Chain A
Amino acid sequence: MDESKQGDMKAQVDSRLDVLFSEVQSDPESQANQSDFPESPLKPLKAILLAVDWEITDETLASLRREVKRLEEIYSEEKIPFTLLQILASIGNYVRLNKGKAHPSAIKLINSAYLALEKTVTTHGMTQQEKERLLLTEVAKFKKLKEEIAVRRESREEESSDEVVMPRVTELSSSPAEVEERSPGRAVSQIAPHEAFAIAVEEIKDLVRAEFKVLRAEIRLWRNSK
């Protein structure tokens, strides 16, 4: 093995990677946000959203609700942050009711609405027009999610009358958005034991099917490689 040749190749790889993935180009927006953030009243909200991102628990979602409420009071006179907070409150409520069965895009939209809120609150020199544009984007995403939830609910209702009922996110208006609560008896934590058992059995069946599918694929690959 030629040591110098190997060292030369390593140097070439490292140099190529440095060129390809140099991080010199900084992101001015994120830099602005970082420098502004320490004094921001949004800091506790960000901490809660990070916690929600890795684990959805009743405790984190209750903290989210409390923190959004606190911020709504702070920004009650500023329409754009206030509306973004309403969106956060609505989706937070929806996730709280549905937990693991919530629409996959719900958490994404929480993060996206928060980023828009952070931008509007912490970016100096942002024009009203830019802020409105951000808000409109988030409202459009919110409406799209609402439609998707409605479609999902309909298809579930068609599939089985035993399925968990999806809550409806109400129309976003000038008044605080609210989530229409489904009947308390249908809350995930309060479903009847026999229903919970039936859901668990279905989940186990799906899991076994998925694992077998993968194993079959693996056997096929193994046979092909022979």
Chain B
Amino acid sequence: MALINMKKREVQAKVVYYGPGRGGKTTNLEYIYRKFSNRIKTEMVTIKTHGDRTLFFDFLPLDIGQIAGFTVRMQLYTVPGQVKYDATRRLVLRGADGVVFVADSLAIRRKENLLSLKNLAEHLASYKRSIFSIPLVLQYNKRDLADQGIPLLPIDTLESDLNSKLKAPSFEASALAGPNVVQTMKKIISITLESLQKEFQS
């Protein structure tokens, strides 16, 4: 849940990057951190496990600056994607104001995407949130691997598998190379803040 301090005129919101293991959630945050390190004055915190996998979470705080007289701060988190860290995933998702679902475009990861999205819906439901109402952006990652001859799921398949009911904004991206990583982040921040404003004023 976002923290809104009317006295200090501060807003702090939380966005969680969710998705199957090895899908590129951490790579998204690392790209943003690397690309804008001269503008992001904060440090990225990351807790890795054996073999360079996310154990608990990655955390990247972003100072957005002044918007409508409020100082806006975003906190970007990733969850560990591996199936076994389910309790950790649920904990990190607590209080999320927006979610980016990072789907893996590899053809062999189709089932993992579906399971992870289902897992997201279940965890949100446990916090009395609906996947249909939370600000959500879908990112179809690893599109660059098509150039290397690696079989990928067509975008139509990804859309029909994951987004046919959600109708969330979606981006084809490559977290390693960068295309649409920033656009994904900008979109989720924009719709999250829009949703918070609606919530606050209703």
State the A residues within 8 Å of B (CB): 1-2, 6, 8-10, 12-14, 16-18, 20-21, 23, 46-47, 50-51, 54-55, 100-102, 104, 107-108, 207, 210-211, 214-215, 217-218, 221
Task: Contact check, A47 vs B149: say whether CB atoms are below 8 A apart.
Answer: yes
Known: A14-B190, A104-B51, A108-B52. 19 other contacts (CB 8 A): A1-B202, A6-B197, A9-B67, A9-B193, A13-B189, A16-B67, A17-B189, A17-B190, A21-B186, A23-B182, A46-B148, A47-B149, A50-B150, A54-B22, A54-B106, A104-B49, A107-B51, A217-B91, A218-B87
Task: Contact check, B52 vs A20: say whether CB atoms are below 8 A apart.
Answer: no
Task: Contact check, A55 vs B194: say whether CB atoms are below 8 A apart.
Answer: no
Q: Is B64 an interface residue (CB 8 A)?
A: yes
Contact of A51 among B66, B150, B186 (CB under 8 A): B150
Chain A residues closer than 8 Å to B182, beta-carbon distance: 21, 23
- How far, in angstroms, from A51 to B145 measured CA to CA in the complex? 9
Q: Is B35 an interface residue (CB 8 A)?
A: yes
Q: How many residues of B contact A (CB 8 A)?
A: 42
Offer 30 A-B interface pairs, CB within 8 angstroms, sorted by A: A1-B202, A2-B201, A8-B68, A9-B68, A9-B194, A10-B190, A10-B194, A12-B68, A13-B64, A16-B67, A17-B64, A18-B186, A20-B64, A21-B182, A21-B185, A46-B148, A47-B148, A47-B149, A47-B150, A50-B148, A50-B150, A51-B148, A54-B142, A55-B22, A100-B50, A102-B51, A104-B52, A207-B84, A214-B88, A218-B91
Chain B residues closer than 8 Å to A54, beta-carbon distance: 22, 106, 142
Task: Contact check, A221 vs B94: say whether CB atoms are below 8 A apart.
Answer: yes
- Looking at the assembled complex, report how far the CB atom of B10 sits from the nearest CB atom of chain A, in whole angstroms: 15
Task: Contact check, B65 vs A20: say whether CB atoms are below 8 A apart.
Answer: yes
Task: Contact check, A23 vs B48: say whether CB atoms are below 8 A apart.
Answer: no
Q: Is B111 an interface residue (CB 8 A)?
A: no
Best-surrounded residue of A21, A214, A217 (most CB of chain B within 10 A): A21
Task: Contact check, B87 vs A211: say whether CB atoms are below 8 A apart.
Answer: yes
Q: Is B129 an interface residue (CB 8 A)?
A: no
- Looking at the assembled complex, report how far the CB atom of B49 sits from the nearest CB atom of chain A, in whole angstroms: 8
Q: Which residue of A lies closest to B150 (CB)?
A: A51
Q: Is B73 an interface residue (CB 8 A)?
A: no
Q: Is B165 an interface residue (CB 8 A)?
A: no
Chain B residues closer than 8 Å to A50, beta-carbon distance: 145, 148, 150, 176
Q: Is B198 an interface residue (CB 8 A)?
A: yes
The 10 closest A-B pairs by CB, nearest first: A47-B148, A214-B87, A17-B186, A104-B52, A214-B88, A54-B22, A218-B91, A13-B193, A211-B87, A21-B182
Chain B residues closer than 8 Å to A21, beta-carbon distance: 32, 36, 39, 182, 185-186
B17-52 CB mask vs A (1 if < 8 Å, else 0) is 000001000000000100110010000000011111
Chain B residues closer than 8 Å to A102, beta-carbon distance: 51
- How far, in angstroms, from A55 to B150 measured CA to CA in the complex? 13
- How far, in angstroms, from A2 to B72 measured CA to CA in the complex? 21
- Looking at the assembled complex, report how far the CB atom of A46 sits from the nearest CB atom of chain B, in whole angstroms: 7
Q: Is B90 an interface residue (CB 8 A)?
A: yes
- How far, in angstroms, from A210 to B198 measured CA to CA in the complex? 39
Q: Decide yes or no: A107 and B52 within 8 Å by CB, A6-B198, A13-B189 being known contacts.
A: yes
Contact of B67 among A12, A211, A215, A218 (CB under 8 A): A12
B163-202 CB mask vs A (1 if < 8 Å, else 0) is 0000000000000100000100110011001100110011
Contact of B65 among A8, A16, A210 (CB under 8 A): A16
- How far, in angstroms, from A214 to B52 measured CA to CA in the complex? 20
- Looking at the assembled complex, report how far the CB atom of B101 sits from the nearest CB atom of chain A, in whole angstroms: 18
Task: Contact check, B148 vs A13: say whether CB atoms are below 8 A apart.
Answer: no
Chain A residues closer than 8 Å to B202, beta-carbon distance: 1
Chain B residues closer than 8 Å to A23, beta-carbon distance: 35, 182
- Looking at the assembled complex, report how far the CB atom of B164 sits from the nearest CB atom of chain A, in whole angstroms: 26
Q: Decide yes or no: A1 and B87 within 8 Å by CB, A13-B193, A54-B106 being known contacts.
A: no
